[in-house]
Structure 1
């Protein structure tokens, strides 16, 4: 993370949180998040520069991006009760919730300080609310079809990339067509990343196991659709006719069945379609080099290398 962006994140905490222990806790959350080496603020910076921007407040905008993504990550971990090594999962939940609320209030204050126009504040709320709506579908396991999954993932994950892009272009004179292109590209990128996570998690055996938690991700939806008695135990488990014992007792055989089922290949095919769509949108973007190429590099270029 750019150190100037990190400085602004700390400054926002200092501007609004004067209770020492809460102030220190929020800064520890930021330091923890920094270790992930994620690209959220880089997306904001690249979007701004590739569309011709040169705002002196760019790093403040990118700091808002990082804080919103951090807040949503904390919310996700609290809901799923995973990533126990994270600092926000190691303190009492009531304290973490207070820190989460404080972070969001700091972001609202910073957007005010940046004099973000009313129409763009409305757009901020729409993008974040879209992600929350997708998250609600995810935590309630309301997905029952591939179309449901694709929509939920675009809402939940695509909105994060939409927000990172938005913070880079909201201050510029962008056309409606350009904003629509960036939104569509962000949704594709969100799908690409989430499908990759779901392919990993379908064979994972721990508290976050998608199978154990009866989640209906893309590979699992394929697994449940197989009309073969050999795979009926998965359907029976999801229908409540079996408990999870078979998943643990026959762990190696279950993982082998998952690999043999074709569900991972199916997920890769859908992912490759998303990549092709992303490439089509990207090629149409009227954006400035080398920032346009850098945007692609930090968002989805590595996935193109995997399918070649």
Structure 2
């Protein structure tokens, strides 16, 4: 009896510790800006943010329910079927029906997740999501380079072409224009090329619900879009509208240094910033 009670209490303590640790991790790690919490996440400000959050909550609820059922069954089994000193061994071959059941249920849940995320995945990553109505690729704003241990952003300058004399670079700060369009979310999209100079990094902007690995030797076309209504509602009173950038992949001893920020500017201010950066880097030459 003492052993059963002790084991049950230990399992309950493990359950509570797991839940508390998980909540603490989500609350502090996933919300780098303490003034903008929505439970564990910072406020979403991208055009796909709500769809991403809906998937997060769907998976969270499913996993939480299954975790509670599994832990409950485990605690019940420990309490109900704990052997007494005088009990004899009982040999059993299990239940094929039960095995099929606990295989079918997780498989069905995985299918629910797979089909639920297909449209959002396509909108985020398919090439067609980064093309105009005529099927042409949208122009690239800048190249994002991850390296030990910083983020660098290379812009094509006023001519809009990389590899020319007016290219310039920004370190730790990604500046992007805010596409002020009322209805057409596609016109809000800003296209980037994501690359790594050395090891695997992960470019993560929590406020925009964007996370993608930067893989050495691979160039990835990616896009982000800020929802101007969300931005005005949440940060309307702030002159400096910035979001945190995090490296979400352990990339070496200086991994902690790989932070940065995204600064969002209206189109006119963005053009003025490009002129300013060009003047700073090239002067009158």
Which has the larger strand fraction? 2
Which has the larger helix fraction? 1
Structure 2 length as normaliser, TM-score?
A: 0.28
Considering only CA atoms, is the larger Rg found in Structure 1 or Structure 2?
2
Structure 1 length as normaliser, TM-score?
A: 0.26
Greater RCO, CA 8 A, separation 6+: 1
